[in-house]
Chain A
Amino acid sequence: MRAFTQHQGIVAPMDRSNVDTDMIIPKQFLKSIKRTGFGPNLFDELRYMDEGQPDQDSSKRPLNPDFVLNQARYKNASVLLARRNFGCGSSREHAPWALDDFGFRVIIAPSFADIFYNNCFKNGLLPIVLDEDVVDKLFQESEANEGYQLTVDLTAQTVITPSGESFSFEVDDFRRHCLLNGLDDIGVTLENAEAITAYEDARRKTAPWLFNAGN
Chain B
Amino acid sequence: MVGKTLYDKLWDDHLVKQRDDGSALIYIDRHLLHEVTSPQAFEGLRLANRKPWRIDANVATPDHNVPTTDRDKGIDGIVDPVSRTQVETLDSNCDEFGILEFKIKDQRQGIVHVIGPEQGVTLPGMSVVCGDSHTSTHGAFGCLAHGIGTSEVEHVLATQCLVQKKMKNMLVKVNGNLGKGVTGKDVVLAIIGKIGTAGGTGYAIEFGGDAIRGLSMEGRMTICNMAIEGGARIGMVAVDDTTIEYVKGRPFSPKGETWDKAVEYWRTLHSDSNAVFDKVVELDGSAIQPQVSWGTSPEMVTGVAGSVPDPAKEADPIKREGIERALKYMGLAANQKITDIQLDRVFIGSCTNSRIEDLREAAAVVKGRKVAASLKQAMVVPGSGLVKAQAEQEGLDKIFIEAGLEWRDPGCSMCLAMNADKLGQGEHCASTSNRNFEGRQGFGGRTHLVSPAMAAAAAIKGHFVDVRELMN
Q: In the docked arrangement, what's the CA distance between A6 and B272, Å?
A: 46
How far in angstroms is the closest Cβ of chain A from B260? 11
B142 within 8 A of A: no
How far in angstroms is the closest Cβ of chain A from B137? 13
Interface-lining segment among B23-31, B67-75, B216-224, B393-401: B23-31
Q: Which A residues are CB-close (under 8 A) to B160?
A: 196, 200
Interface-lining segment among A65-73, A149-157, A170-178: A170-178
Interface-lining segment among B47-55, B236-244, B336-344, B461-469: B47-55
Question: Contacts A115-B147, A174-B23, A213-B120: A189 and B37 contacting too (C-beta < 8 A)?
Answer: no
The contact of A196 among B146, B159, B201, B438, by CB within 8 Å, is B159
Interface-lining segment among B83-91, B356-364, B368-376: B83-91
| Size bin of chain A's contact surface | 35 or more
The contact of B27 among A174, A199, A206, by CB within 8 Å, is A199
| Residue ID in chain A nearest B24 by CB atoms | A174
Of A195, A203, A214, the most chain B CB neighbours within 10 A belong to A214
Question: Contacts A122-B152, A190-B159, A214-B100: A91 and B131 contacting too (C-beta < 8 A)?
Answer: yes
Interface-lining segment among B56-64, B276-284, B285-293, B403-411: B56-64
Q: In the docked arrangement, what's the CA distance between A85 and B56, Å?
A: 37
Interface-lining segment among B180-188, B317-325, B449-457: B317-325
Question: Contacts A91-B149, A114-B233: A18 and B123 contacting too (C-beta < 8 A)?
Answer: no
List residues 24-45 of chain A with CB under 8 A from any CB of chain B.
Answer: 26-28, 30-35, 45
Pair B25/A189 contact, Cβ less than 8 Å: yes
How far in angstroms is the closest Cβ of chain A from B355? 21
Pair B55/A214 contact, Cβ less than 8 Å: yes
Pair A186/B154 contact, Cβ less than 8 Å: yes
Pair A84/B131 contact, Cβ less than 8 Å: no
Pair B17/A192 contact, Cβ less than 8 Å: yes
Pair B25/A51 contact, Cβ less than 8 Å: no
How far in angstroms is the closest Cβ of chain B from A191? 10
A20 within 8 A of B: yes
Pair B82/A32 contact, Cβ less than 8 Å: yes
Q: Which A residues are CB-close (under 8 A) to B437?
A: 20, 22-23, 89
Q: In the docked arrangement, what's the CA distance between A213 and B56, Å?
A: 6
Pair B86/A31 contact, Cβ less than 8 Å: yes
Of A31, A34, A174, the most chain B CB neighbours within 10 A belong to A31
Task: List the 9 shortest-distance A-B pairs measured between CB atoms, nearest first.
Answer: A122-B151, A93-B149, A209-B254, A33-B39, A119-B149, A214-B56, A91-B147, A174-B23, A173-B21
In the assembled complex, 23 residue pairs joining A and B whose CB atoms fall closer than 8 Å, in A order, are: A17-B319, A18-B197, A20-B297, A27-B416, A28-B418, A33-B43, A45-B438, A54-B82, A85-B201, A90-B416, A93-B151, A112-B201, A115-B133, A122-B149, A174-B22, A174-B165, A186-B154, A195-B25, A196-B161, A207-B265, A213-B123, A214-B30, A214-B56
Interface residues of B (CB under 8 A from A): 16-17, 19, 21-23, 25, 27, 29-30, 36-37, 39-40, 43, 48, 50, 53-59, 64-65, 80, 82-83, 85-86, 89, 98, 100, 120-121, 123, 125-126, 131-133, 146-152, 154-155, 158-161, 163, 165, 197-198, 201-202, 228-229, 231-233, 252-254, 258-259, 261-262, 265, 297, 318-319, 321-322, 325, 416-418, 435, 437-440, 443-444
